[in-house]
Amino acid sequence: MSISEIQIIPIKPQEGLVAFASFVLDNNLYLGSVGILTRPEGGYRLLYPTKKVGIRYINIFHPINKAFAESIEKEVIGKFEDVMKYGRHNKADA
């Protein structure tokens, strides 16, 4: 699995949400609107997009394997921390 073209858009913090991320998976699939939220115990986590249909929320996409989810989280949050430290928004700039 490869994650490339990670882009981070910081936002004014709101209920734990601090940024949105997008990235390309295996040079074949663009994934966007992934939220980056603070964890109460410190650090960050990812929140994948949903769509409200009636009174229910439907998942648009999300990892179904914990190891896969952790590898995405490591890459994206690493880039987010880099952006917050150095102000870069595109992994190609790193």
| pLDDT tops 60 at residue 89 | no
Neighbours of 39 (CB within 10 A): 9
E strand residue ranges, 1-94: 3-14, 17-25, 29-38, 44-47, 50-53, 56-59
Residue 13 CB coordination number (10 Å): 11
Closest CA to 38 of 75, 80, 8: 80
| Total-model pTM | 0.87
Please report, as a single letter, which amino acid is at residue 83: V
The per-residue pLDDT for range 7-66, each reduced to its tens digit, is: 999 999 999 999 999 999 999 999 999 999 999 999 999 999 999 999 999 999 999 999
Please, what are the domains in the chain?
A: 3-86 (3.30.1120.40)
